[in-house]
Amino acid sequence: MIKILGWLGSIALCVSPFIIDTAEGKILAIVGLALLTAQASQAKLWNFVLLNITGIGGYFYALYI
């Protein structure tokens, strides 16, 4: 199940740059990073977990300013 979520997260992050100037693009990036965070934490890749959480925070900040 985590593998499928990882693929969905990757697809979301492949699509989101093309619409990143919209709120939907930022939300898609947040969702994609969240899905990849689940995969990274299962694999105990803590540097990627931190990177993804930081990215999620950045997109939330960009979404609400």
Residue 65 CB-density burial (10 A; 0-12 exposed, 13-18 middle, 19+ buried): exposed
What pLDDT digit, counting tens, does each position of 21-51 carry? 999 999 999 999 999 999 999 999 999 999 9
Task: Domain of residue 29: give its range.
Answer: 2-63
Number of domains the chain contains: 1
Indicate the pTM of the whole model: 0.93
Q: What is the pLDDT of residue 25?
A: 97
Whether 9 shows a pLDDT value over 90: the answer reads: yes
Q: What is the pLDDT of residue 21?
A: 95
Whether 65 shows a pLDDT value over 90: the answer reads: no
Measure the CA–CA gap between 56 and 30, rounded to whole angstroms. 5
